Amino acid sequence: MATTYTLISSVTVGSGGAADIEFTSIPATYTDLVVLTSLRGTTSAVSVSGQLRFNGSTSGYGLKYLAGSGTSASSGDFGATTSLIYISDIPAATGTTSTFANVLVYVPNYTSSNNKSISVDGVEERNNAAAYATLVAAKWDNASAITSVKLYPSSGNWVQYSTAYLYGISNA
């Protein structure tokens, strides 16, 4: 079975930054969705949490994560009690200069009338200090097709040149 990726939309944050990156009016013509990002935050911290929501919903999310730096590891379980999906730590204003986190979000069967599963693979590099990798297994308990995806930092904005690409996957 051949798989094809089609770019649905892309966003590059302009001068002055942006509070969020949002893809709307996602067509229901694909099998799966993939979001690829390169993100950096503006807040005065080493890093911020990257966050995601579907269709503007603030409920029904749950996730488990694994994170590691090469010298330490952590994990967590948010059950079904969270109002968003954590996607990765993202470098911010006092983090290593000019570094961006790369995050891949994969959503199979996004038009299904069943609950949705989400896989996330993120990495934040702090040059000579450390690099952090995060894997997230998430769910969204909602029977609606996904028609919008919003990415936003836990505080501050996304800096200029942060990017996000939304792809539709078709199995042919």
What CA–CA distance (Å, rounded) separates 170 from 160?
A: 32
Q: What is the pLDDT of residue 172?
A: 56
What are the contacts of 112-116 at 24+ separation with CB within 8 A? 112/145, 113/143, 113/145, 114/143, 115/139, 115/140, 115/141, 115/142, 115/143, 116/54, 116/140, 116/142, 116/146
Amino acid, res. 134: T
User: Which among 50, 44, 54, 45 is positioned nearest to 22, based on CA atoms?
Assistant: 54
Domain residue extents for the chain: 11-171
CATH fold of 11-171: Jelly Rolls (2.60.120)
Report which DSSP code applies to 148. -
Percent helix, strand and coil across the chain, each to the nearest 5 = 0, 60, 40
pLDDT tens, per residue, the chain with 172 residues: 457 899 999 999 999 999 999 999 999 999 999 999 999 999 999 899 999 999 999 999 999 999 888 788 889 887 766 899 999 999 999 888 889 999 999 999 999 999 999 999 999 887 666 788 999 999 999 999 999 999 999 999 999 999 999 999 987 5
Predicted TM-score (pTM) of the model is 0.93
